Amino acid sequence: MRTLALLTSGGDSPGMNAAIRAAAKTCAARGARLLGVRDGYEGLIDGRMVEVVPGPCDLLGESALDVLGSQGGTVLGSARSARFREPAGRARAADVLRSAGIEGLVVIGGNGSLTGAHALFREHAVRVVGIPASIDNDIGCTAMAIGTDTALNTIVQACDHVDDTARAHRRAFVVEVMGRACGYLAMASAVAVGADAVLFREQKRDEEEIVQAVAAVIQQGFARGKRRVLIIKAEGVEIPCTRLVRRVEERLPELEVRAVVLGHIVRGGHPSSLDRLVSARLAFSAVASLLEGAADEMVGWNPPLPGGLPTPDGSVKRFPLERVLQETAALEEGSSPVMARRLQLLQQVEGVLPL
């Protein structure tokens, strides 16, 4: 029987479990065996694996899979593995896969995880197909990474709550959302909630400029008679939220400004229907591609750039990991045309001020 393995790696994201379920069902339908690796590359190095869908009593048996898709996090566990960053760790992982007779590996994760997958292929010819998963939506060659939609919904709900209390007291709020290297969550949520302005790392502003710009937006907003001013800040903007708010209040002592840092709340929770759907379809294509002999690739959802190999799913294309990693780097440093389109969207669609 043909055997594949699957792991989830890096920051967990809602929809990973839905992808695991879909991969298990696709394998079962094609007569292949699927092993789930515990705790990402850490578990792979140690050979910790569990059979998925072997029978009703197992942890990942059929009944468990029925409820899995609606759960956040990842049932397999995840890790940011320092050992796998070393050549010796990757060699050990390749040995484990070989001795278990595993012919291909599905890696569900973000930039670091896909970089590891690419290295595993280059150094040890392990056939890997990646599935983009990161609430930050910072991965190239895909319009959506698994978890981004759910994270956005969580941010929108939190901002709606903040909005109620802000309008009651005529206050300004700075809401910080996750996104270390990529401002997508901040930019997209700013449009979705009709924020007054958005701060993200790719703007490359220094602290003085940021304090000045934020104070100006707040002052002008209230001068126009608004009852709330809402500014979304990406985590990647280095000035801590509390310091930013304190410095703005020093400039505007007559106004009240508050800070809310959403942090890991944004990464958990039940996946949205869109995340479940995208996860399932990406996982189907990843498994099908691996069984057809694909290697060193990632499957992307409605890619926002040309190229890629078609799959039986019209919304999913296959890209070489090399290209994915290049495009991911361009997204992070702000030079990708995809970033330029995001900025245009901010200014044209909602008039949200990128500070």
Q: Which residues bind ligand F6P (CB under 6 A)?
A: 11, 80, 110, 134-136, 178-180, 235, 267
Least Å distance, CB 350 to ligand F6P, is: 23
Q: How far is the CB of 267 from ligand F6P (least distance, A)?
A: 5
Least distance between ligand F6P and beta carbon 265 (Å): 11
Q: Which is nearer to ligand F6P, 98 or 180 (CB)?
A: 180
Q: Do the Cβ atoms of 206 and 247 come closer than 8 Å?
A: no
Catalytic residue among 39, 46, 58, 136: 136
Q: Which is nearer to ligand F6P, 196 or 235 (CB)?
A: 235
Residue 196 falls in the annotated catalytic set: no
- The bridge status of strand 316-320 relative to strand 309-310 is antiparallel
How many other CB atoms are there within 10 angstroms of residue 161's CB atom?
A: 10
For ligand F6P, which is the closer residue by CB, 133 or 352? Answer: 133
Q: Which stretches does DSSP call E strand in the chain? A: 3-8, 33-37, 49-52, 104-109, 128-132, 172-177, 197-199, 229-234, 257-261, 297-301, 309-310, 316-320, 353-354
In angstroms, what is the minimal distance from the CB of 126 to ligand F6P?
24
Closest residue by Cα to residue 261 from 244, 281, 278: 244
Q: Which is nearer to ligand F6P, 267 or 318 (CB)?
A: 267
Q: 231: which 2 tokens?
A: 């500014």
Contact 181, 332 (CB under 8 A): yes
Query: What residues are labeled active site?
Result: 136
